[in-house]
Every structure is written in structure tokens, then in C-alpha cells.
């Protein structure tokens, strides 16, 4: 947008153009979501089934049977999943974008 002369995030554009761009983005999102949903019904993803591990009641780590791969098997979760990390960073990016937009349009919104 700055290279087109419209300012950062289209700050120099009038409200009608911004509203039109919002409508176009919403229409794109609806078409993309409907297409994704249709394709999900057309070709569902098959998830492989994994048999649960056999539970053994041990008070603590057993030094005689423990190897390097099962040290943290008794821990519910030792690190966040990839989805959790993506959602967290996505929320932070959205918050930063909202702050930048609020700074750019503070006179328009009256704060």
C-alpha cells in the first residue's frame, strides 16, 4: 500500500474504498471457507488409529527398564503443541496489527 501511495495499511484511502476492500476480503473468506468445507466432505482425511500404551503402575521411574526415549512418558505434556504455538503467535500478530491500525487511524476514530 505505501508503494501505491495509499499510506501504511491504506491510511490515505477514503472510507468507501476501505469498506469496499473489507467486503472483498469477507467475500474471499466465505468462498474459501465454503470450498474448504466442500472438499473436506468430498475427500475426508483418514486418521491412523494408534493403540494406547499399556499402563504400568510404578511409583517413580524404574532405572532397570527406563531408556532415553521414555523419560518423559509419565509427564502429561512437556511442551506446547504446534497448534498452541501458532494460535499464540497469531493472536500476538493480530494484537500488534490492531495497535498499528489504532495508531494510524486515531484521528478518524476520535481517540
87 vs 76, more confident: 87
pLDDT confidence of 100, banded at 50, 70, 90?
confident
Tell me whether residue 53 is in a domain.
no
Predicted local distance difference test score (pLDDT) of residue 76: 57
- 10-51 tens-digit pLDDT: 778 888 888 888 899 999 999 998 888 887 777 766 766 666
Q: Are 1 and 9 in contact (CB under 8 A)?
A: yes
Tell me whether residue 91 is in a domain.
yes
Tell me whether residue 19 is in a domain.
yes
Tell me whether residue 21 is in a domain.
yes
Residue 59, pLDDT > 70, answer no
Domains in the chain, number: 2
3-state secondary structure 41-100: HHCCCCCCCCCCCCCCCCCCCCCCCCCHHHCCCCCCCCCCCHHHHHHHHHHHHHHHHHHH
Structural domain containing residue 23: 1-46
Residue 60, pLDDT > 60, answer no
Amino acid at each position: 500500500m505505501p508503494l501505491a501511495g495509499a499510506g501504511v495499511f491504506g491510511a490515505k484511502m477514503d472510507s468507501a474504498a476501505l469498506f469496499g476492500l473489507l467486503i472483498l476480503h469477507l467475500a474471499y473468506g466465505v468462498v474459501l471457507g465454503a470450498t474448504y468445507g466442500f472438499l473436506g466432505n468430498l475427500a475426508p482425511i483418514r486418521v491412523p488409529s494408534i493403540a494406547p500404551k499399556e499402563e504400568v503402575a510404578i511409583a517413580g521411574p524404574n532405572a532397570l527398564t527406563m531408556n532415553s526415549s521414555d523419560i518423559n512418558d509419565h509427564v502429561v505434556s512437556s511442551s506446547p503443541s504446534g497448534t498452541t504455538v501458532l494460535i499464540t503467535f497469531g493472536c500476538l500478530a493480530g494484537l500488534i496489527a490492531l495497535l498499528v491500525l489504532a495508531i494510524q487511524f486515531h484521528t478518524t476514530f476520535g481517540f
